[in-house]
Amino acid sequence: MVVSNPLSIVARSALQLRDVGPATVNELSRSLELSRTSVETAVTALSDAGTIIDAPARNAGGAGRPARRYAFHAAAGTIVGVDIGVASVRVVLADLAGHVIAQHSYQGVAAHDGGAAKLTAVIDDIRRSLSASSIPSSQVRAIGVSLPGIVDDSGRVTTSVVIPEWSGIDIGSQLRHAFGCPVAVDNGVRLAAVAEHHLGVAQLVDDVIYLSVGNRIAMGLILGGRPRRGIHNAAGDIGRLAFRGLDTETGQISWRTAATAAEVFGAARAGDADAQAELDAFIDELAHGIATLIMTVDPAMIVIGGGLSAAHEQLLDPLRAALPHHLGLPFQVPLAEARLGAEAAAHGALVHAFQRHADRIYRIDDMPVPPITPLAHESVTPIDPTEEHQ
């Protein structure tokens, strides 16, 4: 991993131990091209902060006492990522090295009446997840939250058409009070885009449009490697404007030949001509809207996520074919299916917590976000693929 020079020696030492593995002072000195004295000072600071611990010594086979080795103390704290939706609440727990250690899915907040009851249910879900992994709340160093709506920089929900009871509510402050740790809150589609950029299909691509297509259409935008929030935190809330035929108030997609998207796609697969015609018209309109976004932003990649991405090539192949007809340009923009699926926003919330509160998480300055390592697919509880994150 390339480390930029502005990082302090303490942070560079911690980063080496976190992302590469245990090492002695001499090994750190050689790897970082620093003096032994500088590294010894850094190691003392990291030990005092509880960021590193002793690692088992290697037996070099020679005479004398083996050199003391140090390891990053990944288990010293826990970071929580929570994705709040009306259909489900997903909670992801990670250690300080970014390894996901557990994830759980719960009933969505639509099952609870009133804003207070919805928030209480989310707090209970987080506590249940911690308890299931025998992690005390005192070990939580930061919480990242994904939710549907426009969220300001402090964590206050400016407005939400999906959970209107939370409009004007400082959800971040409520969770900080409940868990006694820093909380970072942002829009769910934006955080899904962050996740796909950090650990998904759009890694190493710095200009990305992430389009969530499900019950609604919404956009998350990565520009110059950073999520674009906009001056009013509303960047990406474009579905009702860029895509014709949606509900002008909520951005909801309506279907004529069946009650749900899954039923329309299923009927089209079965040979229903009316369903196929409706699907063709929808994909053509989707391509028209995406072309508008491409000409506005000129991204390097389009990522399609949300519930309808579960249709895979039944959606993506005709969408790829329709897009050039609307663009009429001598180049093509790659269009990819999101890799993280319904889990994107919860993992993006983890990344957001690491980004916003690294100093509180690591108890030293300058630490960058770790590479997030998700659980193996077989370890994840199956979730309804039609669910989405707005």
Residues 293 and 347 in one domain: no
pLDDT at 361: 97
Pairing of strands 88-95, 78-84: antiparallel
Cβ atoms < 10 Å from Cβ of 259: 9
pLDDT at 205: 96
Label residues 83-122 b or e (16+ Cβ within 10 Å = b). bbbbbbbbbbbbbbbbbbbbbbbbebbeebeebeebbebb
**pLDDT over threshold 70, residue 389:** no
pLDDT at 62: 57
Q: Do 243 and 289 form a contact (C-beta atoms < 8 A)? A: yes
Residues 120 and 179 in one domain: yes
Q: Do 330 and 338 form a contact (C-beta atoms < 8 A)? A: no
**pLDDT over threshold 50, residue 250:** yes
Domain boundary among 338, 353, 373: 338
pLDDT at 120: 97
Average pLDDT over residues 102-130: 97
**pLDDT over threshold 80, residue 262:** yes
> Is 377 domain-assigned?
no
∠ CA(100), CA(106), CA(111), 5° rounding?
A: 150
Give helix then strand counts, H and E, for the chain.
12, 15
pLDDT per position as a tens digit, 170-228? 999 999 999 999 999 999 999 999 999 999 999 999 999 999 998 888 899 999 999 99
Q: Do 102 and 93 form a contact (C-beta atoms < 8 A)? A: yes
| DSSP-derived 3-state class of residue 199 | helix
pLDDT at 58: 76
> Is 314 domain-assigned?
yes
Q: By percentage, how much of the chain surpasses pLDDT 90?
A: 76
Q: What is the CATH number of the domain that holds 57?
A: 1.10.10.10
pLDDT per position as a tens digit, 341-386? 999 999 999 999 999 999 999 999 999 999 999 997 644 443 333 3
pLDDT at 37: 96
Residue whose entry in the numeric block shows the structure tokens 């906009």: 230
Q: Do 310 and 346 form a contact (C-beta atoms < 8 A)? A: no
Residues 240 and 287 in one domain: yes
Residues 142 and 259 in one domain: no
Residues 328 and 208 in one domain: yes
pLDDT at 214: 86
Residues 292 and 331 in one domain: yes
Residues 15 and 128 in one domain: no
pLDDT at 331: 84
Domain boundary among 72, 88, 108: 72
pLDDT-derived band of residue 60, with 50, 70 and 90 as boundaries?
low
Give Dmax (Cα) for the chain. Answer: 82
pLDDT at 100: 98
**pLDDT over threshold 60, residue 388:** no
131 backbone dihedrals φ, ψ, rounded to 5°:
-60, -40
Cβ atoms < 10 Å from Cβ of 244: 9
**Residue 223 and residue 354: Cα distance in Å, rounded?**
19
pLDDT-derived band of residue 248, with 50, 70 and 90 as boundaries?
low
pLDDT-derived band of residue 319, with 50, 70 and 90 as boundaries?
very high
pLDDT per position as a tens digit, 278-314? 999 999 999 999 999 999 999 999 999 998 888 888 9
Q: What's the mean per-residue pLDDT of the chain?
A: 90
pLDDT at 377: 61
State the residue range of the domain holding 58: 9-72
Residue whose entry in the numeric block shows the structure tokens 């020679």: 62
Q: Do 108 and 88 form a contact (C-beta atoms < 8 A)? A: yes
Residues 318 and 352 in one domain: no
**pLDDT over threshold 60, residue 3:** no
> Is 158 domain-assigned?
yes
Q: What is the CATH number of the domain that holds 148?
A: 3.30.420.40
**Residue 49 and residue 41: Cα distance in Å, rounded?**
13
Q: What is the DSSP string of 343-387?
A: GHHHHHHHHHHHHH-HHHHHSSS-PPPPPPBPPPGGGSPP--TT-
> Is 20 domain-assigned?
yes
**Residue 200 and residue 6: Cα distance in Å, rounded?**
27
Q: Do 364 and 49 form a contact (C-beta atoms < 8 A)? A: yes
Residues 126 and 187 in one domain: yes
Q: Do 217 and 251 form a contact (C-beta atoms < 8 A)? A: yes
Residues 246 and 130 in one domain: no
Average pLDDT over residues 226-234: 91
> Is 371 domain-assigned?
no
Contacts of 43 (CB under 8 A, 6+ apart): 13, 25, 28, 52, 70
Average pLDDT over residues 29-34: 95
Residues 103 and 46 in one domain: no
Domain count for the chain: 3
Amino acid at 259: A
pLDDT at 243: 80
> Is 185 domain-assigned?
yes
The number of angstroms, rounded, from the C-alpha of 28 to the middle of its chain's C-alpha atoms is: 32
> Is 385 domain-assigned?
no
> Is 197 domain-assigned?
no
Residues 230 and 180 in one domain: no
- Least Cα distance to 242 among 291, 207, 209, 277 occurs for 291
